[in-house]
Amino acid sequence: MDLAADIGRHLAHEPVLAGPPSAAYRARKFVRRHRFGVGAAVASVVVLIGFAATMAVQARRIASERDRAESVVEFQAGMLSEMDTEGIGVRLMADLKRRVTEASFGRGLSEAEAEAVVKSFDETTRGVNATDAALRLIDEEILARAVGKLEEKFAERPLIDARLRETIAVTYGLLGLYAAAEPAMHHALEIRKDVLGADHPDTLSSTYNLARLYWAQGRYDEAEPLLLETLETQERVLGADHPDTLGTRQYLGLLCSTQGRYDEAEALHIETLATEKRVLGADHPETLHSMHNLARVYYDQGRYDEAEVLFLETIDSQKRVLGADHPATRGSLGNLAAVYSAQGRYDEVETIYLEGLEANRRVFGDDHPRTLASMNSLGVLYHKQGRFDEAEALYRETLAARRRVLGAEHLDTLWSMNNLASHFRGRGRYDEAERLFLKTIETQERVLGAEHPATLNSKANLAAVYSAQGRYDEAEPLSLETIEKQERIFGADHRETVTSKTNLAIQYHLQGHYDEAEPLYLEALEARKRISGHDHSETLIVMDFLGGLYTRLGRLDEAETLLQEVLNRRRRVLAEDHPHLGFSYYNLGCLAAVRGQRATALDFLHKAVSLGWSERYILDDPSLEGLRGDPEFELILVEVKNRIGEH
């Protein structure tokens, strides 16, 4: 009864469930007011538990019959691997509500009183994630208990123990419960090595699944040797075309991609995809997975047109074969949205991200890595759209959850730190940005290595922080070091390389080294147009800076043509209050000031600051020399100083 009561408290979201105090308070009040209804619901759960216990006893009896043991194990393994957490959560909540309703009428309440009870129930449970409730029950009442019983029940049947233990570990992994998965996976692997030997297909399956678990946790140095060892043995024992061999080769490609080794990843995915089409068929789920992985590599290489075509083809097949709500379909849609974002197609992106986040919360729960990835992507989009408060809230929530769920050194956690620090930089909060970038880079270099794409991205961003603060002696060597590595690893036309070159050009520009800045701007601009198109925000930023450089050089007609084109393009794709327009107004204000058009210059500068634009270089921009001492201009400078923390 204690167990049943605890489950009842869990389902009613009393104090055993972590959540906002106000929700717990409402839950306690609800239980006090409706003891009879909740008691009936708890009783129903007791009945369910009793039924499950009875089934477990019967299963144990059947398992004792040696001639039927294997079929029972396969049945149990299949049940575990196909567990529908969303469906379980929804059914639990629906059943509880139905029983509360029936109990309310059974107490002789009037229809209005019973409806009030149900309404109170709805209000109390609003915002509760049914999938999370199911996850906790599955973990504590099914998987953890099953692991505890395996050695006791199957001490003399080690292979049955290993089969079920591996299935439980894989199930934990699919649920995002990695820490719980690892001991079971290690135990299964050791049993199979001892009984079957290192080359047996079942042992290789356990080795592969352990490598996948390491990969999911960001432990790439541990995952890669296991995958290589498994692949070599599978090719020798099973053959190059065996589905297990193809699965290992596919994950090795994923590992290479995660580490920024895109050429190796592309070659592995192309080879695997060709074999899967021949052996498994074009519509097989593993074939579709390889198509998705190859499209993702194209995206990572900045080959957006190829990525879009392959993602669309993959999604069309996944919807037909797997369904629109299948996690694989949702994953491909999320990556297609990343392609659209890189191309500046934000309206299409937001729709996909919001639908994906809702689906992931429903299917996997609030803390699953897939859900957190959706939150992070939505935060990035909001930042690009200038919805900074919404972006920061999502960045902070995602970072806190990733630290709690994945750990402080996981790749996803480090990306969240980088994103939040970049947000601080974009808002002129340079001290906060610098502290967080330094902390991120220290961990990235130790965990991922000095040449990992994530490490280089953070270093490029830190250099931009130094530049924005006028610390050019620190910014330039860091930028040059980063560009050298990015060109060697990614190539000169990769978006990360182009961003770093743009930032170096800005550093030269602000220092007055115009001859060094202009060719870098022109090179970056042509690359941006090729990679992202003429209307992409990053393309327009390069054009804006180049127009500002022409103003400083006195090439005013060229500056006006370029800056007006940028403004027109931005107005075509952005709202009138979008912060990116502030940069256009700033540069047009500088141009008007050089031409002696005081009123026009001040009007543009006021517009820039009102849209949130604030950068340190306005304080000593030579283009604005003619406005120094003007009371209205000095007020603008005071506002900018307050924002960037200079007094």
**Domain final residue, candidates 95, 130, 153:** 153
Among 99, 134, 153, identify where a domain stops: 153
pLDDT in tens, 163-199: 877 877 777 676 667 777 888 888 889 989 999 999 9
- Closest alpha carbon to 376 in 406, 363, 62: 406
- The reported pLDDT for the residue numbered 16 is 37
Question: 28-32, 205-209, 432-436, 445-449: lowest mean pLDDT where?
Answer: 28-32
Cα pseudo-dihedral 152, 140, 78, 224, rounded to 10: -90
* Total structural domains within the chain: 2
What does the pLDDT average to over 124-131? 53
Domain membership of residue 461 (yes or no) is: no
The mean pLDDT of 3-14, rounded to a whole number, is: 37
Report how far residue 47's alpha carbon sits from residue 29's, in angstroms, rounded to the nearest whole number: 26
d(CA 495, CA 507): 19
> Is residue 97 in some structural domain?
yes
Residue 415 lies in a domain: no
The pair of structure tokens assigned to 81 is 């691997």
Determine what percent of the chain is predicted with pLDDT higher than 70: 74
Query: Are 298 and 314 contacting, i.e. CB atoms less than 8 angstroms apart?
Result: no
311-346: pLDDT as tens digits: 999 999 999 999 988 888 988 998 999 888 877 788
Token pair 């090729």 is found at: 530
Q: Place 405 in a pLDDT band, splitting at 50, 70 and 90.
A: confident
**Residue 642 within a domain:** yes
Contact 304, 531 (CB under 8 A): yes
- pLDDT tens-digit series, residues 284-295: 999 999 999 999
Average pLDDT over residues 522-551: 88
- Three-state DSSP at 156 gives coil
Q: Which residue has the higher pLDDT, 15 or 168?
A: 168
Stronger pLDDT, 280 or 90, i.e. the higher one: 280
> Which of 114-123, 219-228, 334-343, 636-645 has the least mean pLDDT?
114-123
| Confidence band for 4, pLDDT divided at 50, 70 and 90 | very low
Question: What is the pLDDT, as a whole number, of residue 152?
Answer: 59
Q: Is 209 domain-assigned?
A: no
What pLDDT score was predicted for residue 121?
62
pLDDT for residue 12: 38
pLDDT value at 155 more than 70: no
Q: Give the mean pLDDT of 263-289.
A: 95
pLDDT at 53 over 80: no
Least confident of 189-193, 344-348, 462-466, 628-632: 344-348
Across residues 548-575, what is the average pLDDT?
91
Question: Is residue 63 in a domain?
Answer: yes
Using pLDDT thresholds of 50, 70 and 90, give the confidence band for residue 60.
low
- Identify the band that residue 114 occupies on the pLDDT scale cut at 50, 70 and 90: low
The predicted model gives 592-621 an average pLDDT of: 91
Q: Which residues of 329-353 are buried (b: 16+ CB within 10 A; e: fewer)?
A: bbbbbbbbbbbbbbbbbbeebbebb
User: Considering the domain boundaries, does residue 74 fall inside one?
Assistant: yes
Average pLDDT over residues 85-97: 55
Distances (CA, A) of 543 to 342, 480, 568, 610, 613: 17, 22, 12, 22, 17
pTM: 0.58
- CA–CA separation, 593 vs 600, rounded Å? 8
pLDDT at 382 over 60: yes
pLDDT > 90? residue 144: no
Q: Which residue has the higher pLDDT, 575 or 402?
A: 402
SS (H, E, C) 344-379: CCHHHHHHHHHHHHHHHHHHHCCCCHHHHHHHHHHH
Domain contains 257: no
Q: Which domain holds residue 26?
A: 1-153
Mean of the per-residue pLDDT values for the chain? 80
CA distances, 364 to each of 110, 131, 479 (Å): 39, 6, 40
Which pLDDT value is given to residue 476? Answer: 95
pLDDT given for residue 120 in this prediction: 67
The predicted-structure confidence for 466-504, as pLDDT tens digits, reads as follows: 998 889 999 999 999 999 998 887 778 777 889 999 999
Instruction: Report which of 258, 190, 201 is spatially closest to residue 224, judged by C-alpha positions.
Output: 258
Check pLDDT > 90 for residue 519.
yes
**Final residue of a structural domain among 126, 153, 180:** 153
Comparison of pLDDT for 6 and 358, the residue scoring more: 358
pLDDT band at 157 (very low <50, low <70, confident <90, very high): confident
Q: Tell whether the model's pLDDT for residue 140 goes beyond 60.
A: no
